[in-house]
Structure 1
Amino acid sequence: FCKFTLLEPYKQLYYNILIYRTPLISASVQNNPDVIVVDETVNGVYGEELCSKVKADKAIANIPVILLIKSADNESYLSHVGSKADRLELRSANIWKFRTDITMLIDNNLVRQERMRRFIADTVAPTLPEKIRKDDACLKFINKVRQLLEQNLAEESYTVDALSEDMGMSRTAFYNKMKKMTGQAPADYMLTFKMERAKRLLASQDYSIGEIATMLGFCDSRYFAKRFKEACGICPSKYIETIIG
């Protein structure tokens, strides 16, 4: 969405640049850019408004956004604090500095995305012993347990007793079978299941900690944070910081 131009040798040598003189957010999605550069105004639309729209769109929110500004004084910088841009750059910036800043922003974003992918890949349901995984009856059993837990994630009152009943078993029989199959007591397995789901929700950054607490059936965000820290060794807010860097 920028109106500035780079000298041809630099443009061809370092970047494949597409310039949109109309503020079309959908265009940036179709071309899957590594970075979006937005001018202070684009055909009468304020650049910071466009930056906010990009960051509000889940499909492209992870793309770094640079907002070009005309002045370098403190007031100009502070006036754009709410733009949600990843970086502010002067429109008259030295081309080599600008090129370096863009490259570093792209590289840092790739590192952050890879870190998030690793975190999400690690947040999977507990792996079953190979012996159990090869047993169709056991797999059917544990898959039903997971399905019931998924269906009742938001239910604070969904206890081991309720899960045992839904599985058509006595509490004792259910406890013994779960312990044998997973190495965990049912209550511990239920908590692990919720905490792994919590990690995915926190990593997505689509929900507040309070919303996640409600989605997972905790009475409030404080209790959720306490249980999360007990299970994962880190509080939810610090977990998010660890992921995004």
Structure 2
Amino acid sequence: MNSEDRRLVLIVDNSVNLYGLGREILKNNFRVIESNGGEEGLALARQIKPDLVICDISTSSSDGLFICENLKSDSATSHAPVILLGPMAQQIDGLRAGADDYISPPFDSHVLGLKIENLIRLGDAMRGKVVQEMSAQSEWNGLSDRFLEKLEQLVLENIADPDFGVHEMAFQIGISVSVLYRKLRLHTGATVNEFVKTIRMKRAMKLLETGIYPVNEVAAAIGYEDSKYFSKEFRKSFGKTPTEVKRRAR
């Protein structure tokens, strides 16, 4: 494997023994960068954005738990799994600090290598799932928007027809009535009749706000044959009568 294709592992430690262990188990499978202690390690992690961090919990220049907490709380480094190396007595503290794994001596180089591979693979899978879900959601939202736009256009094209309703809409859009009900409820939380009424009332409001059209003509223009019934439904929608809106528009 080309060295540039290998995953990047950062070792934060000032222990010669750990350096040697890191080189021995990682050099054939990963690119390894080593840091001489805590503050330098944090700065380097933010700069190179490693695929995984190995940190000695007993680093002298900065507490290993503090390093782990900072790595996990920083958006630039929180993606990277962290393996803490330290005494068994501090295992709980290490895991509470956000470590993805905690290993105590004696270190088994084979086990450490497998843990590194597994954590990187798991991180890749999780990021892939997030991207897939975001893409699916984006596609779904796009489909939802197009579906609603098509329905609204159908209502506007037939807005003066008092008989235009769920059956005509389902027929024109090419789906069954039951599917239309389910999809519209899913996308808007409204029934088909509520959706149609909302569009009609919005159009009525626009016409009335011009101050030009009589109320009965506005009612007929949006598919209401009874102007009194239209006025009642309009008031339910906007809290005011069509006459009040028209009067204020003058």
Q: TM-score, normalised by structure 2?
A: 0.49
Task: Identify the match of residue 51 of structure 1 among 40, 65, 68.
Answer: 68
Hey, what's the Cα distance between the residues in 2 that align with 1:18 and 1:111? Answer: 24
Hey, what's the Cα distance between the residues in 1 that align with 2:105 and 2:189? Answer: 52
The residue type paired with residue 122 of structure 2 is: N
Q: Within 5 A, what are the aligned runs for 1:112-131? A: 112-124=126-138, 125-128=140-143
Cα deviation code 1:93-145 (max 9, x no counterpart) = 11111111111111111112112221222222533489x69xxxx69x99xxx
Q: Within 5 A, what are the aligned runs for 1:11-90? A: 11-21=26-36, 22-24=38-40, 25-69=42-86, 71-72=87-88, 75-90=89-104
Task: Identify the match of residue 2 of structure 1 among 13, 29, 33.
Answer: 13
Hey, what's the Cα distance between the residues in 2 that align with 1:95 and 1:58? Answer: 30
Structure with bigger gyration radius:
2
Paired residues, number: 156
Hey, what's the Cα distance between the residues in 1 that align with 2:61 and 2:24? Answer: 30
The structure whose residues are more often helix, as a share, is 2
SS at match of 1:63: coil
Preserved contact between residue 39 and residue 61 of structure 2 (Cα < 8 Å)? no
Cα deviation code 1:62-118 (max 9, x no counterpart) = 21001111x23xx43233342111110125311111111111111111112112221
Q: Within 5 A, what are the aligned runs for 1:1-245? A: 1-3=12-14, 4-6=18-20, 8=23, 10-21=25-36, 22-24=38-40, 25-69=42-86, 71-72=87-88, 75-124=89-138, 125-128=140-143, 188-190=186-188
What are structure 1's unaligned runs of at least 5 residues? 143-174, 193-245
Preserved contact between residue 29 and residue 59 of structure 1 (Cα < 8 Å)? yes
- Which has the larger displacement, 35-44 or 1-10? 1-10
- Note the C-alpha offset of 1:54: 0.7
Partner of 1:213: none
Preserved contact between residue 23 and residue 42 of structure 1 (Cα < 8 Å)? no
Preserved contact between residue 144 and residue 187 of structure 2 (Cα < 8 Å)? no
Among all aligned residue pairs of Structure 1 and Structure 2, give the percentage whose two residues are the same amino acid.
15
For CA contacts below 8 A with separation 6 or more, give which structure has more relative contact order: 1
Hey, what's the Cα distance between the residues in 2 that align with 1:94 and 1:80? Answer: 19
Q: TM-score, normalised by structure 1?
A: 0.50
